[in-house]
Amino acid sequence: MAITGIKTKLEYSDYAQIPSDGKRYELLKGDLHVTPAPSPLHQRVSKRLQRILESYFEETGRGEVFDAPIDVILTNEDVVQPDIVLVLNPKQISKRGIEGAPFLLVEVLSPSTKNYDRTSKAQRYAALGVSHYWIVDPEAQQLECYRATEGTFELVVQAEKAATLIHPDWPDLPLPLSALWA
């Protein structure tokens, strides 16, 4: 006898009913992923990078920067909460969150999410049309910048410690990494 009526894949409507409990919930291909709240180091690095990106993109009217928690609804079965989101198209911003693939997603690694962010999330982001994906590793004091190419991400530039990262797509946006770790 088969059991019917049990969902094996969740959708946005299921996700929207999850109570707020201080944890981060995400859907990837309908599967629920739960991670603990980030550490102060994680939040400090994220906040500092966000300020640099806001200064460059928002003050010049190029785009809008959001920080977690904010729902990025990539598909009905893919809802994520990246640490930083850059939206160039204001039509993507809705009452629910960010609808569709934003231009840039940034994940600041935590020990509990390091592998997830580098594999499952990166693969899904690339498959669903995210143009740029940055990974920040506070422990290694490193920033890696990836660009989408044919459904996958290729490393464009990386830097670490006190270096100043210059991304080839934004040469007038110097990223002094020492400002993130200080």
* Among candidate residues 151, 104, 97, the one with its CA nearest the CA of residue 123: 151
pLDDT band of 63, cuts 50, 70, 90: very high
pLDDT band of 48, cuts 50, 70, 90: very high
pTM of the full structure: 0.93
Q: pLDDT tens digits, residue range 85-128?
A: 999 999 999 999 999 999 999 999 999 889 999 999 999 999 99
Task: Determine the pLDDT at residue 23.
Answer: 81
pLDDT band of 5, cuts 50, 70, 90: low
Lowest mean pLDDT among 18-22, 84-88, 146-150, 154-158: 18-22
First vs last C-alpha separation in the chain: 61
Q: Work out the mean pLDDT of the chain and round it to a whole number.
A: 94
Task: Determine the pLDDT at residue 1.
Answer: 45
- pLDDT at position 84 over 90: yes
What CA–CA distances, in Å, run from 45 to 2, 37, 40, 110?
A: 50, 15, 9, 11
Token digits of residue 50? 């966000």
pLDDT band of 4, cuts 50, 70, 90: low
Across 151-180, average pLDDT: 97
Read off φ and ψ for residue 103, nearest 5 degrees. Answer: -70, -40
Q: pLDDT tens digits, residue range 67-79?
A: 999 999 999 999 9
Across 129-138, average pLDDT: 98
Superfamily of domain 12-181 in CATH is tt1808, chain A (3.90.1570.10)
Across 42-46, average pLDDT: 96
